[in-house]
Amino acid sequence: MKLFALYLGGRAEHANIEVHDVVFIVAEKVEHHKEKIRQLWFGSSEGVHIDAIAEVSKVDGYKINVGSNKNSTHGNHLWFINFGATIPSLFSEYHENGFVVAPTKQSAIEKAKNTFCLNFKGIHTDSVVEVEDCVNVTEQLQNINLIPDAGNTQIQVKNCYIILEGGYNRKTPSLINSKRAYLANNTSFCLSGIKSYLLNCIHPVSSCGEIIEHAFSNGLLVKLYYITSIQRFNFP
């Protein structure tokens, strides 16, 4: 089993902009646990998505091994730390985050100060979590074992846009407005192949627009339901 950190984006009640959080899972493949990951999101379940994936395999000279058995970690623990800082004229708070191995929360913070937000002003610690306390996606107790390893410790990060609920599409509002799609409950026509294509396409954000654009350009009426604030396509 592997340890993954996921950078989630989505909506939350009373929030005017997209908000984000970091969650941790133990799995062989992230894609096999979309529903479990969605349940880790604190905000609205509609529209939540993964913006980045990090497979945490080595940190600070330790190989990360995850399993049901607990091995000696020599008093060390794996920590995830999120630092904040200020940048002049930037209308937001700047953040840097990552993993460190240390025996205590305070020692982890001190260690992170040598890495994160260097040369910035207003540096402060926003969040510190012990990762082992957060990993339980498979509903089995998972232990994080730290095995000394002098090899490369760089964590591989993959930027992405993986939807955790069906059909969320950032382009939906403008698409509907520009094409004046009919919200007709009695419309029985559905373009052949759209449903199966959308359900199986890997990148629905780009593919949805292309298919619907093709449908309208050919004078065809596609049955669409637009749900306010959810922004998704549902096909019968």
170 and 234 part of one domain: yes
Q: Which of 100, 129, 163 is the last residue of a domain?
A: 163
Percentage of residues in the chain having pLDDT higher than 90? 43
36 and 143 part of one domain: yes
153 and 173 part of one domain: no
CATH of the domain at 106: 3.10.20.10
- Domain, as residue range, for 136: 2-163
The tens digit of pLDDT for each residue in 65-91 reads: 888 777 766 789 999 999 999 999 999
48 and 140 part of one domain: yes
**CA separation (Å) from 220 to 183, 207, 213, 225?**
14, 17, 10, 16
The tens digit of pLDDT for each residue in 27-70 reads: 899 988 998 899 999 999 888 999 999 999 999 999 998 887 77
* Model confidence at 9: pLDDT above 50: yes
* Model confidence at 186: pLDDT above 50: no
101 and 206 part of one domain: no
- pLDDT band for 235, please (50, 70, 90 cuts): very low
- pLDDT band for 141, please (50, 70, 90 cuts): low
* Residue 72 pLDDT: 64
Q: Output 134 or 142, whichever has higher pLDDT.
A: 134
**CA separation (Å) from 44 to 32, 36, 51, 85, 127?**
21, 14, 16, 28, 22
83 and 200 part of one domain: no
- pLDDT band for 106, please (50, 70, 90 cuts): very high
- How many domains is the chain built from? 2
Q: Output 153 or 232, whichever has higher pLDDT.
A: 153
Q: Which of 113, 130, 163 is the last residue of a domain?
A: 163
The model carries a pTM of 0.68
* Model confidence at 198: pLDDT above 80: no
**Taking residues 180-197, what's their average pLDDT?**
40
Burial code of 80-104, b = ≥16 C-beta within 10 A, e = fewer? bbbbbbeeeeeeeeeebbbbbbbee
* Model confidence at 211: pLDDT above 80: no
Contacts of 210 (CB under 8 A, 6+ apart): none
Percentage of residues in the chain having pLDDT higher than 70? 65
